[in-house]
Amino acid sequence: MLRLHLLRHGQTDASRANRFSGEMDPPLNATGLAMAEAFAARWGAEKWAAIYASPLQRARQTAEPTAKRAGLEIQIEPGLREIAYGEWDGRLEAEVEAADHDRFKTWSEHPGWNAPPGGESGAQIAARALAAIQNIRARHAEGNVLVVSHKATLRVLLCCILGVDLDEFRRRVDQKVCGLSIVDWKKAGPMLTRMGDVSHLPPELLAGDGT
């Protein structure tokens, strides 16, 4: 059986501030680096078949401590990158809601089928992210595989796995920074066995973790 460990990257200054951070590439801040180390302390000794990450540095930095403990190279999977926010990338969500109210309302009500201006819809994210998972499954029929990605991308993936309408990915699926979800790929199909788990993080890293 293949067991996918779907991990959101650790905290960045952008996630702490609730700033749209899609194609922009902020590094982990000090708290985020500590989160990556805490995850590795808990999960680094797992018998990993492979470790995959988005090409963005915040995902790669989160994967690095676990990869080091496991003695594995991080494999980059472009389809795991974060949603493209287009014109909104780098801006505070509250600022966008106020300054671009109509387009923000259209997107936030139906993000599965609408996109930020110049960005991606949930359906577009699903197409590339599911293809990335299919590539991983083709390479690994069994074992533990770590996949480090991003908030919106993981929310969309989990909606697809659970059969939840993509319009609900922002309203029905939580994915905290450095939160872990686990999916077992059985003969009957995928089963979610853990969602958004942050039990590997000490209390001081959970305080004020942003979005």
CA pair distance 125, 79, nearest whole angstrom:
8
Nearest to 29 by CA among 57, 53, 69, 70: 57
- Cα–Cα separations (whole angstroms), residue 196 to 1, 69, 140, 142, 173: 21, 23, 23, 22, 9
Q: Which of 5, 110, 150, 200 is catalytic?
A: 150
Our answer to whether residue 140 is catalytic in this structure is no
Q: What is the pLDDT of residue 209?
A: 59
Residue 210, domain member (yes or no): no
Residue 194, domain member (yes or no): no
Q: What is the pLDDT of residue 210?
A: 67
Q: What is the pLDDT of residue 207?
A: 76
Q: What is the pLDDT of residue 187?
A: 87
Residue 196, domain member (yes or no): no
Element (H, E) at 26: none
- Counting the structural domains of the chain, the total is 1
Model confidence at 129, pLDDT cuts 50, 70, 90, reads: very high
Q: What does the pLDDT look like over 9-46, one tens digit per residue?
A: 999 999 999 999 999 999 999 999 999 999 999 999 99
What is the DSSP code string of 51-84?
EEE-SSHHHHHHHHHHHHHHT-PEEE-GGGSPPP
Share of the chain above pLDDT 70, in %: 98
Residue 95, domain member (yes or no): yes
Mean pLDDT of 55-82: 98
Residue 21, domain member (yes or no): yes
What is the span of the domain harbouring residue 11?
2-184
> What CATH number is associated with residue 63?
3.40.50.1240
Q: Which of 5, 9, 110, 200 is catalytic?
A: 9
Residue 64, domain member (yes or no): yes
Model confidence at 206, pLDDT cuts 50, 70, 90, reads: confident
What is the pTM assigned to this prediction? 0.96
Secondary structure E strands in the chain: 2-8, 48-53, 74-76, 143-149, 180-186, 189-197
Mean pLDDT of 48-52: 98
Mean pLDDT of 177-186: 96
Model confidence at 198, pLDDT cuts 50, 70, 90, reads: very high
